[in-house]
Every structure is written in C-alpha cells, then in structure tokens.
Amino acid sequence: TKTISKCYVQVTGMTCASCVANIERNLRREDGIHSILVALMAGKAEVRYNPAVIHPSAIAELIRELGFGATVMENCGEGDGILELVVRGMTCASCVHKIESTLMKTNGVLYCSVALATNKAHIKYDPEIIGPRDVIQVIQDLGFATSLVKKDRSASHLDHKQEIRQWKRSFVVSLIFCIPVMGLMIYMMVMDSQLADAHAHHNMSSEEMEALHSSMVLEYQLLPGLSVMNFLSFLLCVPVQMFGGWHFYIQAYKALKHKTANMDVLVVLATTVAFAYSFVILLVAMAEKAKVNPVTFFDTPPMLFVFISLGRWLEHVAKGKTSEALARLISLQATEATIVTLGPDNVLLSEEQVDVELVQRGDIVKVIPGGKFPVDGRVIEGHSMVDESLITGEAMPVTKKPGNTVIAGSINQNGSLLISATHVGADTTLSQIVKLVEEAQTSKAPIQQFADKLSGYFVPSIVAVSVITLFAWIIIGFVDFEIVEKYFLVRKCTIIKEIVAEVIIRFAFQASITVLCIACPCSLGLA
C-alpha cells in the first residue's frame, strides 16, 4: 500500500484562475504527486504526495520553476476542519464521556471536547477522511439531538451606525455653542488691538486706558468681578463640557481604570483644567469684587471638542464605508446547498437540502438556474452561463462546462449544473476575501503602530511638560518679575493694583494650561 502524506505550500505571484490551472496541470503530471488543490485568494496549495517518491521541498521547487514564489508551510494543522455543535439530551458526565470516546475512536477525528454545562461540542477533524455531516451522524446514532452552532451572517459586528450617530451629535452640540464663543473671542481680540493702537498713538494715561477698556460692552461688569464676556463664555461652555464631552469622559475613565493614558485622557485633562481654572478665577474675582476682569479660558473647551469630535465622526464614517462593503460581501454567501447522491452513469439517486456549513469536500452539489453556488467547485455535469461579476467585475456571463471551476457566491443563469465541491467553509474564495478585508481593517500599518506606541508616552510627557512650565514660571516670576511683566498680556495699570505673587501664579497657570491645550488636538492624535 502506498502511504499518502499531505503538505501545504504558500504560493506567491498568482494573479488569476489561469495561474491556478497552470500549477495544478503541471504538478499533476509529476511522479509521486497524488493530487493538488490550489486556493488563489489564500495563496495556498494543498498537495497529497507519496513521501517515498517526492519531498515537500521538491514540490515547492517544481512550483518555483513555473515562475511563482513557493515555500513549504511548517504548521500543517491549517487544513484541519473545526466544528462547533449544539448537543441536546445530555444528562450527566457519562453522556459526555460516551460522545467523546466514540468520536475519538472515529477515523479522522483529531480532537473532541464536549461541555455539559453549555451543551456544546468542539471538534477538530481531517476533512480528507471525514466531514461535518459524518460527525453529526455519529452523535445522532448515540441518541443525542445535534445541530450546528448558528453563525452570525449579518455582519452586525461591522456596524458603525451607532458610533457615527453618537459622534455626529457630539460634534453638532459643540459646534452650536462654539460659534458664539469664537465670535466673542474675535470681537475681544479686535477691540484689544484697537486699544493698544490708541495707547501707542495718543499716549493715554493708565487711568484713561482703564476707563476706555471698561466702557466696552463685553467688559461691562454685571456684578463686581463678573463681566458680560466672562458670563456669556461660562454659559456657552457648560453645555459643551457636559454633553459635547460626555463620550470623552467615559473613554478617559475607562483608560485610566486600566492604567493607560490615551488621547481622550489628554482632551479631558486639558478641557477640565481650563474650565476649572477659569471658574475658580471668576469666583475669586467676584469674592474680591475686582475692578479688572480676570483672563479666563472658557473659549478653549468648546473649540477643542468641536475639532476632535469632528475627527472622530469622520473616522467612523470612513470605517463604516469599509464595513458596509464587507457586510455586502458576506450577504452574497449562499446559506443552503442541495447535495445529491449519484448512482452509476451519474443517475440521480437522492437529494437533500443542508446548511452550507455542512457541505464536505468532494460532495456533489446541484445548482439550479438562478441559484447561487454555495461552495467553490468543479463542474462535473451540465452546461450553463454563470454571472461571476461579484469576483471578477465582468458583467458578461461566463460559459461553464464539465471540468470548469466555479466560485461560491456567483449566480447560475440558465442551465442546471452538478458540481464537485473543492473548497468549502472558510476556504472558499468569498470567505477568503472577507477574511482579507477584515484583517486589513484590524491590522495596523507599521507607522500607525509606531504612532500608537508614541501616544502612550505622549500623554504623560505633555502633562509633565505642563507641570514643569507651571513651576518654571513661578520660579522665574519670583526671581525676576520684569520678565513676567513683559510677557503677561495685561495693561500695566492692573499690575500695580494686584499683588505681585497673584500675577505670577496667574501667568504660570495660563502658560501651563496653554501647553496642555495646544498639545491636545495634536496632529498625532487627530491622524
């Protein structure tokens, strides 16, 4: 008796079905090769050979001679079939033992584990020897009801609709409140620059400057220490902080709980510090009944939230587009197949409808006109035209006659066909495409991995720089107050009236909050 071994070869450089046919045709002629099956999308060839005549390395060399890249795959467990079943009617551990021991004695079953609590069975088998229907039959013969674990074919895990809605809402809320804040800010900037010009040209005294400044509408004090500008900014900032930033707070809390610092932590830190500092400064000014209105940062949170929630919204819209394409692909898969039993001279003996997951390699499947091909296979009887546009993009139907290959998901048009299944389950072309797209979505580009790694260090380092800025300016201020006086954008008159220490601390806080806020929507985070 000849011993037949099996090996897998990774094949690169295949572009279309003719490459597959070329490799299969040439290798079948070689001595010692029993059969060969090539999957184009997976870039994998499964070869059954006689180890006494030929070795896997020689098989790879034969493929290389045809002009393709080929390497022997070491882990041959890739070809094992995996089956998840629901088993009803088990009452105790002896039932579990009976099923497991019977299955393990069955030729072709490699591993079996049955859980009584969940009524589930996990089975690994060799598709060359046994198939899922045979395994189910073995368990049913023991007196247990068995069915497949239903797979989620709806691709609901790829749905980004909820996230898109959530970030769109967050963006719109922030934007509504951000526009008036920006208007107020621009107005104040223009007025301040006009005041500075007036001061430069007319050499006004500091008292005249202050009088002119407080006569501006927005600088008018509603209560001592509370100007119209600050009051309006506060009112506009609160809803954004509460509703616009809600999702950021949740994400940041989750990140901190797991002792990591991501971009959400930085966003929340910057906006909260800016808001809290401004609020406290306002309360202090009102308590002191200050004549001069304090400099607040109420404009920062709305603007940060607008930019970042816009970024998140666009990101989820883009992800949703890819996922939509994937969901459409998944929906192209047939759910059932008609398996037939043939007698001598291809006479139909019987046919039965089964779940597409139960089709085994080598099964004869009947596809009627208008039906979808449930698996990849080879035509053994019948002539028809087939619409393969889902894979090839070719609108014209393709003629199929015995010996031609067919692709799962393509549509049979006018004649009835009998096909022999070659690739089933996760090995079909369509499943491989879905798998590739899913992998492309979940795997990160090297630059993205690098950026993620950096952002892990980025957040703590920004916080550290911000704290250093705070203390550095406090020290500089107490050592040489003139430097602070030069950079602190307030009118000279206010410094005389305020305590020097307060000015220094206020300036130091402004500098450190600025560092936090500027680092927030950094290109790294947005990208």
Domain ranges of the chain: 5-73, 81-148, 153-332, 335-426, 460-521
pLDDT at 407 over 70: yes
Determine if residue 346 is left, alpha or beta; phi over 0 gives left, psi from -120 to 50 gives alpha, anything else beta.
left
Calpha distance 92→98 (Å, rounded): 10
490 compared with 507, residue with greater pLDDT = 507
User: HSE-up of 11 (CA within 13 Å, CB side)?
Assistant: 33
pLDDT digit string, tens, across residues 124-139: 988 878 888 899 999 9
238 compared with 200, residue with greater pLDDT = 238
Residue 167's contacts (CB-CB under 8 Å, 6 or more residues apart) are 247, 309, 312, 313, 316
pLDDT of res. 77: 54
Q: Which CATH class is domain 81-148?
A: alpha beta
Number of C-beta neighbours around residue 20 at 10 A: 19
User: 85 near 49, Cβ under 8 Å?
Assistant: no
Q: At what angle do helices 228-239 and 300-331 cross, to 10 degrees?
A: 20
Instruction: Read off the pLDDT of each residue in 166-187 and give the average, rounded to a whole number.
Output: 88
Calpha distance 47→58 (Å, rounded): 12
User: 415 near 383, Cβ under 8 Å?
Assistant: yes
State which CATH number among 2.70.150.10, 3.30.9.10, 3.40.50.720, 2.60.40.10 fits the domain covering 335-426. 2.70.150.10
Instruction: Read off the pLDDT of each residue in 456-478 and give the average, rounded to a whole number.
Output: 87
Instruction: Read off the pLDDT of each residue in 72-101 and give the average, rounded to a whole number.
Output: 81
Calpha distance 499→515 (Å, rounded): 25
Q: Do 5-73 and 335-426 share a fold?
A: no
Residue 160's contacts (CB-CB under 8 Å, 6 or more residues apart) are 316, 317, 319, 320, 323
CA-closest candidate to residue 174, choices 116, 106, 245, 234: 245
Q: Picking from 159-163, 258-262, 440-444, which range would have the lowest pLDDT averaged per residue? A: 440-444
pLDDT at 92 over 80: yes
User: HSE-up of 361 (CA within 13 Å, CB side)?
Assistant: 18
Q: Picking from 213-217, 382-386, 466-470, 481-485, which range would have the lowest pLDDT averaged per residue? A: 213-217
- DSSP structure string for 58-77: HHHHHHHHTT-EEEEES-GG
Give me the phi and psi of 392, to 5 degrees please.
Answer: -95, -20
| Confidence (pTM) | 0.60
pLDDT band per the 50, 70, 90 thresholds, residue 419: very high
Give me the phi and psi of 103, to 5 degrees please.
Answer: -65, -40
Strand partners, 8: 46, 73
pLDDT of res. 62: 92
Residue 63's contacts (CB-CB under 8 Å, 6 or more residues apart) are 9, 11, 23, 27, 45, 70
What is the sign, positive or negative, of the torsion defined by CA atoms of 336, 340, 346, 348?
negative
Average per-residue pLDDT for the chain: 82
494 compared with 208, residue with greater pLDDT = 208
pLDDT at 189 over 90: no
Residue that has been written with the tokens 């991995």 in this structure: 449
Name the helix (H) or strand (E) containing 79: none
Give me 294's structure tokens.
């304090």
Percentage of the chain exceeding pLDDT 90: 16
User: 184 near 233, Cβ under 8 Å?
Assistant: yes
Q: Which CATH class is domain 5-73?
A: alpha beta
Residue 132's contacts (CB-CB under 8 Å, 6 or more residues apart) are 81, 83, 125, 148, 357, 358, 360
Calpha distance 68→64 (Å, rounded): 5
User: 65 near 110, Cβ under 8 Å?
Assistant: no
DSSP 3-state of 482? helix
